Amino acid sequence: MASVDVSEAARRLRDEPDTVLLDVRERDEFAGVRAPGAALVPMSELAQRVGELPDRPLLVICHSGNRSLAVTSYLRHLGRDAANVAGGMVAWERAGLPVATGAPAAGEGDLPAA
């Protein structure tokens, strides 16, 4: 299983502009705290929305890394370029990486164009 730590995830997002940070938590969790620029597709909606995902490298994140690990496995089974962000948002925050809080702005969390 492909996993990266939060430092590597942040580096990829900075240095590889095609990479998408895919947050698979539920909408209320996303509103509480999120990584800026993350696209939101809750795990509960993923099976219905998988066709919406852009054909770009995906870094999958959740709260602690369990849901994102399952989603990463599913996406890789489908032949997608996906890696789990180990430790999730808990590790992201602990590492001092940027976060946004509160109600998402219009368009925040939307998937990027393919």
Q: Residue 75, class by beta-carbon neighbours within 10 Å (0-12 exposed, 13-18 middle, 19+ buried)?
A: buried
Q: What is the dihedral of CA 4, 111, 32, 27, to 10 degrees?
A: -110
The DSSP output letter for 87 is T
Distance CA 27, CA 29 (A): 5
Distance CA 72, CA 94 (A): 22
Write out the catalytic residue numbers.
62
